[in-house]
Structure 1
Amino acid sequence: MNESEETTIVRPRTDLSDTAVNLICDTIRECGFGLHSYLGPGFREKVYERGLIHRMKKRGLKVTVQPCVSIHDEDGTELIEETLDLIAEDVLILELKAVREVSDADVAQLLGYLKAARFRHGLLINFGASKFYIRKYVM
């Protein structure tokens, strides 16, 4: 990954219907499930990230790798820039995990990213358990 990918700032698309977003979610779910079925649990998150990117691109999805989102205080002061895992089609934040069990903190992290980036849709995906985990969140 090059430096320009690490500093990409993505603005959320608002022109897609919920049905279109659900179709994108279905494609990502299929990619993730296939990857988890093939690799199984036990790898670092980066392995699953690269595999998911590869499979999503093969399916024709636009994937932004490690985009940045600015976190602001209520008066508009920028506090910090956070790096997300992935954004699909400029409409869906993907937060990837490779842990035994997803925690409330993992959910809160995704919800915080959705709020900060002003995205409506996000997927929390965990490859670390024996059973593939994916959940959609809508703000």
Structure 2
Amino acid sequence: MDGAFDDWVDADYLGSGAGLGSLVGEPGAAYGVDLAVYTPFTHRAIGCAMRVHSVLGAGFPEVIYQRALSIELAREGMQAQQEVETPIYFRGQQIGSRRVDFMVEGPQPEKPILVELKATTDLADIHFAQVINYLEAYHLHVGLLLNFGSTSLQYRRFIKSTFHT
């Protein structure tokens, strides 16, 4: 995955040790995204996903986890829109549309968090690329990739700092 995309950061890839704050967690940081304002929201959403996985375990189709996560997000009091369809543009022309699994509340109404679900044995580069492409298409800064298909919940947080025109 290293070098495949030059303007995104996988926050979990960076790790939680020293240096993360100086890269993405401070206003005016190198990546231009204040991750600290998103963290409470991403933690709550990941917590909801963990509760869903602890009850259902692995082995169901993605739609089952999507329905369960919708219930758990509402129970947590998080605003979330499910199956959000948005047009995709290329050089100013609409070429189609895609649906993301969820847009979950973020630090401001215009800054939601994209949440994409999978139910596969392991995450692959194509799943990472999908989230990165969705962040680009929707001009969103933070996305979560949640995989319910393994023995424990897998999750990755992505930060998109710049967008192509």
Match of residue 95 from structure 1? 116
**Any idea what the Cα deviations from partners look like across 1:44-74, whole Å, max 9, x if unmatched?**
1011111111111111111101111211112
Match of residue 28 from structure 1? 45
Among 67, 79, 93, the alignment partner of 1:77 is: 93
Give distance in 2, aligned partners of 1:24 and 1:96: 17
Give structure 2 stretches of 5+ with no counterpart.
Answer: 1-33, 106-110, 161-165
TM-score by length of 2: 0.71
- What is the deviation of 1:35? 1.0
TM-score by length of 1: 0.84
Match of residue 5 from structure 1? none
Which structure has the bigger radius of gyration? 2
Give distance in 1, aligned partners of 2:130 and 2:35: 23
Among 139, 143, 148, the alignment partner of 1:118 is: 139
Once superposed, which parts of structure 1, at least 4 consecutive aligned residues long, lie more than 3 Å away?
none
- What is the deviation of 1:34? 1.1
**20-29 or 112-121: bigger deviation:** 20-29
Give distance in 1, aligned partners of 2:42 and 2:99: 21
Structure 1 SS opposite 2:55: helix
Percent of pairs identical after alignment?
27
Contact 1:21 1:91 in 2 (8 A): no
**Any idea what the Cα deviations from partners look like across 1:9-68, whole Å, max 9, x if unmatched?**
xxxxxxxx6333110111011111111111100001011111111111111111101111
The residue identity in structure 2 corresponding to 1:91 is: P
Number of residue-to-residue matches in the alignment: 123
The residue identity in structure 1 corresponding to 2:123 is: V
The residue identity in structure 2 corresponding to 1:53 is: S
Give distance in 1, aligned partners of 2:35 and 2:130: 23
Q: CA RMSD in A?
A: 1.4
Match of residue 5 from structure 2? none
Give structure 1 stretches of 5+ with no counterpart.
Answer: 1-16
Give distance in 2, aligned partners of 1:19 and 1:57: 23
